[in-house]
Amino acid sequence: MKPPPHELTPAERVRLEIPPLDATADEARALLADARRVAVEHSDGFSTVERYCMFIGYPRSGHSVIGAMLDAHRNALIAHELNALRYIAAGASRAELFWLLARNSAEFARLGRQWGEYHYAVADQWQGRHAGLRVIGDKKGGTSSWLLGQQPELLERLKQVIGMPLVLVHVVRNPFDNVATIARKDTGDLMRAVEFYARLVATNAALLGEAGAACLTLRHEDLLAGPNQVLARIALALELDADRAWVAACAAITARVANLTRHSVTWTSAARARVERLIEGHDFLAGYAFEAEPETWNRPATGLSAARQVCDSARGGVGMRVCRRGSARLEVDPLSRSIVPAQRHCANQTGEHRNGQNHQSSVRRTARHGK
C-alpha cells in the first residue's frame, strides 16, 4: 500500500503518482488559502491570456503527454493533474485559479515533469515557465469529465470565472486498451471499468455536442504515428504558433507503438459486447476494434475560434443530458480528489504509467529506467 502523502517528499510522491502539492483535502484547502493571499499580486502576469484549455476524456488514455507538450510551448501553461474544477467548486476566483495552475506547472517542471515511472520533460523548451502567456489550462481529463457528469453546472461556473474562450481537448485511445488499463489499475474489475468508461463516454459526447466551446478530439494512436501533425492541429485549435523547435522537441519524447493492454485482462462476452456498442454509437470512437488497430485517423484541421467548433462530433450528442445524477456521486467536499467509483484494488502501482502503459510507453523512459 502507498504510504500517507504527508510522509513522502514531493519527488517520492510523483514516483507513486501522488500529487506533490494537494493530494489531500487538507492540502488543497491550504493551497487555496495560499492562492487567496498572493494571487492578486501576481495577476498582472496573466493579463495576456486569451483562452482557457480544459482536457476532458478518460483516465489512462494517453493525455498526460499531450498536456506536457503544451506546457512546453512558450505561450502556454498547462497544469498536470491540478483538478481545476474542484477549485472552481470551492469558490476560486480567476486570479486564484490561474495562480494555482502556474504553481502546479512550476512544481512539476521542478520535479522533471515526472509521473510514476515516466518522465514528460521536453528538452530545451518552456515547461513551468512562459513568455507572452496566451493559453492556460489543466490536464485532468478523466476527472474533469466525471465531475461534469456529476455536477454539470460546474462548466458554466468555470466559464463565468475565466471570462474568456474555452477550448476542450478530448483525448481518446482504443477503448479496449483504455478499459483494460482502468480495470487493472483503478477498479480491479473489468465490468466496473466498462461501465465507468461508458459514463464518461456519455458525458463527453454531450459536452462535445453542447458545451458552447471550441472542441478538439485527438487520438492517442495518431500522436504516436504522426506527432508533428497532431501538434499542428493542437496549435491551430489554440491559436498558437507551431514553432519548429517546439514540435521537434515534443516529437522526440513520443514512442511509435501503442501498448495493447487489452490483452492483459480476460474479457467476458458481455464486457466486449458493451464496448463494441459504445464504439458503434459514437463517431469519435469509430474505427476502433479489438482485433486490430485502425489506420491513422488524422482528419484535416481547419480554422478554430471561440464561435466555431472543429471537432469530431459525437453521434447523438446533441440533446443528450450530461449524465444521470444517480449512482456513485463524489464526496461532498469539493477538494476531495476521489473520482473512480470503486476502491482501488491494485496496490502496486509504483512505476506504472498514469495513462495505461507498464512495460511499453507512449513516452520513452529516461536512461536511468533502462530504455
71: in domain: yes
- Secondary structure of the chain: what % helix, strand, coil (to 5)? 45, 10, 45
> What's the structural domain count of the chain?
1
- What end-to-end distance do the CA atoms of the chain give, in Å? 27
219: in domain: yes
138: in domain: yes
3: in domain: no
15: in domain: no
Domain of 261, in residue numbers: 22-369
73: in domain: yes
User: What is the CATH number for 132?
Assistant: 3.40.50
Comparing C-alpha atoms, which of 109, 101, 89, 220 is closest to residue 157? Answer: 89
173: in domain: yes
Residue with cell 498526460: 64
pTM for the whole structure: 0.80
- Is-contact 146 192, C-beta < 8 A? no
332: in domain: yes
pLDDT in single tens digits along all 371 residues of the chain = 788 999 999 999 999 999 999 999 999 999 999 999 999 898 888 999 999 999 999 999 989 999 999 999 999 999 999 999 999 999 999 999 999 999 999 999 999 999 987 889 999 999 999 999 999 999 999 999 999 999 999 999 999 999 999 999 999 999 999 999 999 998 999 999 999 999 999 999 999 987 667 899 999 999 999 999 999 999 999 999 999 999 999 999 987 677 899 999 999 999 999 999 999 999 999 999 999 665 544 433 333 332 233 333 322 222 222 232 233 333 345 665 544 444 333 333 333 333 333 333 333 343 222 32
